[in-house]
Structure 1
């Protein structure tokens, strides 16, 4: 057998290395285009994330998602702008949480001081990750303050479950609690549980999985966006909202699979619904009581969640013209989850 001259090996190694560099660079450019396109379409110069599918409002959810993505893509400048705008425009004066909605067409633009606990979680986790990435103690302190406020103001016990209230006001009643399981952002809860094991984060995760076993309604055994938990442990679709598996609940498979806790019964029901061969493309929502369906399909962002939950290849992360803020955000979040997984 002939020996390959060392100079040939060196050349081949160099070529292989260059090919690897080119491949990595091409992938990096693709990722950069996705984030750059997102920033260009949905984030203003002052750091406000615009919900293009909802009257161009902003909310704590979108600000938190934007901060998470900016950190993931290493964009410290955009992260700083997002955080400054969020703190100045949505930060509450009485507690380290954030008003949930900002409407630039109203005066004042923040007319409801109530918070949304998922937005608070996103912001706290984004600050935690940013503090680690950029060695920023101010981010770490802010994250810690928000985390403690969530525990103090939003975590409670009901019927033997540790639950996350969707907001400070309006969701806990004398013998019931209205819950939204898409607010259980498991990756953040996991990091907080590791950081502060004396706090109830692990109980929240475990009881969230248990509640998912109870929230299986209708023909397809799907969770509704909003459920009511009674003091004696009965879970049912919440009466004040339409009994739909819809735009909130579609996030459940992403959050629980991202955290490696996708064993809840209704998660398998969700992906089975999306992949039902009798109804393709899958409907954007369904009423679990009447089986009424949306006349339009799930978005590309929701299709990405379906792919992620089934360990399939994800669609290209670059937002298309058809993608509004919500679809584009879910698309990029799914790629972030896939990168972290």
Structure 2
């Protein structure tokens, strides 16, 4: 198997006991009641709206270059399809058409592959070019989602047309039939072996896939959605029944943590909670919510990761981004300061959308 397309070192920052205590004192909201609307606007009088608007301005000014490149400040200032996709989605939610257009233009000029309507995942400022042409399917999904929503909001048909071609390419190149299932690959190359397929549970961006099903028809996406939901229900490991960052599927019901990667519920798998909360998948997020609640009930910070095999925990807390995702899922307090780290700050804004 080729190297995974996402070998990014994620940094975390301890929140301390205060966040845990504050979270414990907030009432819990029903996960099923948390709906997501990427194209909606927050009311201007809402405290959440004012915080989100401030966060967006900070995020844009800190991480988006004048030409529209989203800069991963925690990893040598590289850019990748993940960051570009988040920038598009966040600009859309902020109703910032100018920034959306800049990010879309840079993405197409620098990451769009010539052989298929997908995006190279990694661009390095040292070489000023793509250093890994393999795609990251979650980035492609969010790009296609944001382009489709932007075409509807701003009446720009070319964005809608590009979204349609990307969606078709995802179905053609990133979905395989194995073990009686339709499996969503993390990338075109390096994840299918003769006896198993490697998947990333956090790449199932449920609100995007639901949107695709509405506009392309259920027949196009329902098998991917239903099999993905089933696989994530099977991907519950260890005492806390949590998904690992990477899994291997070797049979219809045979799902296990990927053996060549740390078996952790960590920096990737935390987005299972993010997309699950936004996509109303409470059946998928329930074990995560239960684990996080148990930490808060013990008046201790939620650890940044936990080994789903041994139970070992990180000796530091979730980043501000992880804390914001936990706040979204549980209905508890979220950090009020935007992280200076690209990944954590992105999670904060996505969790508040």
| TM-score normalised by length of structure 2 | 0.83
Return closer, same or farther for 1:31/1:214 CA change in 2, 3 Å cut-off: closer
CA RMSD of aligned residues (A): 2.0
Question: What's 2:55 paired with?
Answer: 34
Matches within 5 A, 1:295-306: 295-306=315-326
Tell me whether 1:328 sits opposite 2:345 in the alignment: yes
Question: What's 2:91 paired with?
Answer: 70
Gaps of 5+ in 1: 1-21, 337-341
Matches within 5 A, 1:127-146: 127-146=147-166
Return closer, same or farther for 1:232/1:72 CA change in 2, 3 Å cut-off: closer
Q: Residue by residue, what CA displacement relative to the aligned partner does 1:124-182 show, whole Å, maximum 9, x if unpaired?
A: 00100100010001100010010000000011222222221000000011221000010
Return closer, same or farther for 1:23/1:61 CA change in 2, 3 Å cut-off: closer
CA distance in 2, matches of 1:23, 1:137: 29
Q: Residue by residue, what CA displacement relative to the aligned partner does 1:95-151 show, whole Å, maximum 9, x if unpaired?
A: 00000111212x353121100000000100010010001000110001001000000
What secondary structure does 1:114 align onto? coil
Return closer, same or farther for 1:296/1:170 CA change in 2, 3 Å cut-off: same
Question: What's 1:58 paired with?
Answer: 79
Question: What's 2:303 paired with?
Answer: 283
Tell me whether 1:192 sits opposite 2:215 in the alignment: no
CA offset at residue 292 of structure 1?
Answer: 2.4
CA offset at residue 335 of structure 1?
Answer: 1.4
CA offset at residue 268 of structure 1?
Answer: 2.0
Question: Among 279, 285, 288, which residue is 1:270 paired with?
Answer: 288
CA distance in 2, matches of 1:195, 1:23: 30
Return closer, same or farther for 1:198/1:286 CA change in 2, 3 Å cut-off: closer
8 A Cα contact 1:243 1:288, kept in partner: yes
* Greater relative contact order (CA < 8 Å, ≥ 6 in sequence): 2
Return closer, same or farther for 1:311/1:31 CA change in 2, 3 Å cut-off: closer
Which structure: larger Rg?
1
Matches within 5 A, 1:9-28: 24=45
Question: What's 1:203 paired with?
Answer: 223
CA distance in 2, matches of 1:120, 1:249: 18
Gaps of 5+ in 2: 1-42
Q: 54-63 or 156-165, which moves further after superposition?
A: 156-165
8 A Cα contact 1:154 1:167, kept in partner: yes
CA offset at residue 217 of structure 1?
Answer: 1.0
Matches within 5 A, 1:49-198: 49-105=70-126, 107=127, 109-197=129-217
What secondary structure does 1:204 align onto? helix
CA offset at residue 313 of structure 1?
Answer: 5.3
Q: Residue by residue, what CA displacement relative to the aligned partner does 1:50-99 show, whole Å, maximum 9, x if unpaired?
A: 11222221110110010001011110110011011111111101000000
What secondary structure does 1:297 align onto? coil
How many residues are treated as equivalent by the alignment?
Answer: 309
8 A Cα contact 1:299 1:323, kept in partner: no
Question: Among 322, 327, 330, which residue is 1:310 paired with?
Answer: 330
